Structure 1
Amino acid sequence: MRPPRLTRLTLPRPWGSAALRTLGPGSVSSLLKVGLDVAYVLLWAILAILILAFVAAVFIPLDNLTVTVDDAAGGRELPLERAILLFAVGSFCAYFGAFALIVGRLRAIFRTLTQGDPFHPENISRLRQIGLILAVVTGGVWLWQIWAARLAPGAMEPQGVGELLTPIFSVLVVFVLAEVFREGARLRREAELTI
């Protein structure tokens, strides 16, 4: 006697009878795009405030202002110099500006996902741009921490090579995803030509 054939496997869905869609209007990707839209506006608002602070730092008097730096031996006061203040505020401007650019590229990618077109050819360059911006931010933060550690010894330790593994891994993952999207776009073009 032969066992009965299993023709269709039906698993219970945790969210009821409706399937959770990941692409298209009303999907998870459209919900994430709304979150990215909010983050994009907030990042640009923060960046505008930082730019105003940068401009104000050029003109505010810094006579007799000091910064207290805490380290293991105790606190010490350093004079607040205009160049240090401008560099610090400018660094924050660059940091938030870079992430505003990343979120802008992600919004464009999620717009294509919401339209149901994940392998849009522009997504390849958007992912590469995100990877490049992440690489520049990672290098910039690393250099900034080295500079800050020299400015205030003991208060901040520079990142070691081991601490750079996660950001470098993230950058490499983004570049690999760009190649996956490139291959997906190529396969889609071939499929369109055969139909």
Structure 2
Amino acid sequence: MRLPLPHLLKRGEGRTPQRWAPITAPFRALGPGSVSSVLKVALDVAYVLLWLVTGLLLLLLIAAVFIPLDNVNITVSGETGGRQLPLTRLLLLFGLGAATAYFGGFMLILRSLRLIFRTLIMGDPFHPANVRRLRQIGLILALVTGGVWLAQGFVAARLAPGVMDPQGLGELLTPVFSVLIVFVLAEVFREGARLRRESELTI
């Protein structure tokens, strides 16, 4: 049995938009106290952690030039088993250098994201600098993806043949798709910044 509209309103089952406003207000996407501000804090924490990890790896990379490596072996494991290899200075420098570049690249990505979210907290998402920051994120992400693909292929072919398989081209589809999305977002932000500039000139 359907109740008339006045009964529904009286029982609180047909709230007006004004009565729903206090419930949805805490979930604002922009401005102080919004979801963007919470994500900005998370990005700040992750950025500091990545900065520390990258700095530690850089110190280890420098120290690896002087560390004696006599009779030191490492075990490279894969799906088909494992293999012991002598730890040469070239192998150590290659591994530490690749890890430093990997974490350093994501640290730079988080740095640009923090600056973008800062503009979101200020309520200015279409800041002209965000276009450049998004393009930087896309470029760094492309470099990191390509670097990981080449490094794993080198390890599989030269350092651990038959133990570690190189990445196939199919495994690049998701990273390449992510890079393209970032560049598309950069163009969207560029168009938004252009429209905002034209609106300001009109006013």
Q: Structures share a fold, TM > 0.5? A: yes
The corresponding residue for 1:168 is: 176
Q: CA deviation at 1:153?
A: 1.5
Would the aligned equivalents of 1:127 and 1:178 in 2 still touch at CA under 8 Å? yes
What is the number of equivalent residue pairs in this alignment? 189
* Aligned mates of 2:81, 2:169 — CA distance in 1: 28
Q: Which of 155, 168, 193 is equivalent to 1:148?
A: 155
Are 1:136 and 2:143 an aligned pair? yes
Question: Residue 74 of structure 1: CA displacement?
Answer: 4.4
Secondary structure, aligned partner of 1:189: helix
Distance 1:61 1:185 in 2: 56
Q: Give the C-alpha shift of residue 78 in structure 1.
A: 1.4
Secondary structure of the structure 2 residue equivalent to 1:16: helix
Aligned equivalent of 2:95, options 88, 91, 98: 88
Partner of 1:75: 82
Task: Judge which range, 123-132 or 51-60, deviates more.
Answer: 51-60
Q: 1:151-187, CA deviations, whole angstroms, 9 ceiling, x for partnerless residues?
A: 1022211111111000000000000000000000011
* 1:87-128 alpha-carbon deviations (Å, 9 max, x no partner): 100111001111110000000000000000000000000000
* Aligned-pair CA distance for 1:16: 2.8
Structure 1: distance between partners of 2:66 and 2:19? 65
Return the letter of the residue paired with 2:99. Answer: F
Do 1:47 and 1:96's aligned partners in 2 also have CA atoms closer than 8 Å? yes
Is 1:192 the counterpart of 2:200? The answer is yes
Shift in Å at residue 53 of structure 1? 1.1
User: CA 1:194 to 1:155, structure 2 compared with 1: closer, same or farther past 3 Å?
Assistant: same
Structure 2: 5+ residue runs without aligned partners?
Answer: 1-14
Percent of aligned pairs with the same amino acid? 67
Q: Displacement, 1:68? A: 2.0
Cα deviation for residue 190 of structure 1 reads: 1.1
For the aligned residues, what is the CA RMSD? 2.2
In the alignment, what sits opposite 1:59? 66
Q: Which moved more, 1:131-140 or 1:13-22?
A: 13-22
**TM-fit CA distance, 1:62:** 0.5
The letter for the 2-side match of 1:44 is: W
